[in-house]
Structure 1
Amino acid sequence: MYWFVAKVVYQIICGNGTHTPQFDEQLRLISAISKKEAYQKAREIGMQEQYAFKNQQQELVQWKFINVPEVYTLDHLTDGMELYSRIEEPGDPNSYLAWLQMKSAQLQGQQYIEVNV
Structure 2
Amino acid sequence: MNWFVAKVVYQIICGNGNHTPQFDEQIRLISAGTKKDALAKAHEIGLQEQYAFKNHQEELVQWKFINVPEIYTLSDLTDGMEVYSRIEEPGDPKSYMAWLQTKSAQLQEHPLVELHN
- TM score, norm. by length of structure 2: 0.64
SS in 2 for 1:19: coil
CA distance, structure 1, for counterparts of residue 58 and residue 26 of structure 2 = 26
Root-mean-square deviation (Å): 1.6
Max radius of gyration: which structure? 2
Structure 1 runs of 4+ aligned residues shifted over 3 Å read none
> Which residue pairs with 2:66 in the alignment?
66
Aligned sequence identity (%): 80
CA distance, structure 2, for counterparts of residue 76 and residue 23 of structure 1 = 29
Gapped regions of structure 2 (runs ≥ 5): 85-117
> Which residue pairs with 2:93 in the alignment?
none
CA distance, structure 2, for counterparts of residue 7 and residue 76 of structure 1 = 18
Return the offset for 1:6: 0.2
- TM score, norm. by length of structure 1: 0.64
Q: Letter of the aligned partner of 1:24 in structure 2?
A: D
> Which residue pairs with 2:42 in the alignment?
42
Greater percentage in strand: 1
Greater RCO, CA 8 A, separation 6+: 1
Q: What are the Cα deviations for residues 37-60 of structure 1, in whole angstroms up to 9, with x where unaligned? A: 000000000000000000000100
Matched length: 79
Return the offset for 1:16: 0.2
> Which residue pairs with 1:13 in the alignment?
13
Q: Letter of the aligned partner of 2:67 in structure 1?
A: N
The alignment status of 1:56 with 2:56, answered yes or no, reads yes
